[in-house]
Amino acid sequence: MDELFTRYMYYERAKQGIKFTTTEALRKFYEKDQYVLLKREETLSNLEKLAAFWRNVLRQDDAIFSERILRRLAVLNYAPNGMWTYLVSVYFMQYKDAGDLLEEKAFYEFLNKITAFIWAYAFMRPGVNALRSPSYPEMIEIVNNRTVDFEEYKFDADAVHNVIENYVFTNGRPITKSMLAWWAYNNENQKLIPLDVSLEIEHIFSRKRQENEGSLTDKNSLESLGNKALLEKNVNIRASDYRFDDKKKYYQGFKNDKGKDKAGTRNFELLEMAKEKEDFTEKDIVERKKEIIDAFIGYLRQNNLLNE
């Protein structure tokens, strides 16, 4: 419940033109002027509509959202911080129609814009507190029916490229999972994965294989972005220590000795690898890392977030 009130607070802050990065405590915000905001007739209705919107997001309701919208929301579910939920809440409150729906094309463009920006900003200035400075003014733009463009915070392509190139993508860093989710859904053939499916970070070239073979010449290759993908927890447990030739059957699914079906992954890229590749080597890691980084820079360019 607190989270719902927090999301709505950002809408009311934006309407008041508040862009200060220091945020009031939730209770203090609603207590102002003898709870005048809570006493307004429309506030309860607005809170109910916002709650319904987020229920539909969590349910991935395809009667409410298009497939491509649900894919963007699925990526944002793995955002490195929660600021996206406040931006989306403000957007919904401002642009919902009489049926509490959003115009599909504009919402899709908005979701892409904030995804690209939040991901890049997490590399350049990590931490949710740093994200307040560019986000709060954009919330004010939203409630004034102006386009979100982050005009004062655009990125230098070479700078972003260099940061990502040299970033250490350990499993404990939120941006690692964020990038892998973005990359998975960057493939148009990737089907929507339910939000309640537990996804973990898979080493395609496994740690155990490196321990046994030592065939990776660069010590950074094992933890490279090019060597990681999202994989369902139950599949990851079974596939984690195997050579790639053995991993393929776990990615694709198989029948065990008792004839019981063991489900494979829904990650389209891993399924394609399993069909097309005999092995996954250090060369593949290097090439895949470059492909991911180049695609992400292209995504920033597509969303007009580069200084060019």
Helices within 60-173 (DSSP H only)? 67-76, 83-95, 104-124, 128-143, 157-166
Identify the pLDDT of residue 238: 67
Identify the pLDDT of residue 257: 65
CA distance 98 to 143: 17
Q: Write out the two tokens for 243.
A: 């050579």
Distance between first and last Cα of the chain: 43
CA distance 93 to 15: 11
Tokens 């919330």 — which residue?
Answer: 139
Identify the pLDDT of residue 35: 79
- Per-residue pLDDT tens digits for 170-218: 999 999 999 999 999 999 999 999 999 999 999 999 998 998 889 999 9
For the chain, residues with pLDDT lower than 50 are none
HEC profile for 216-243? CCCCCCCCCHHHEEEEEHHHHHHHCCCC
Under DSSP, is residue 304 helix (H, G, I), strand (E, B) or coil? coil
- Per-residue pLDDT tens digits for 267-307: 999 999 999 999 999 999 999 999 999 999 999 999 999 99
166 within 8 A of 279, measured Cβ to Cβ: no
Q: Structure pTM? A: 0.94
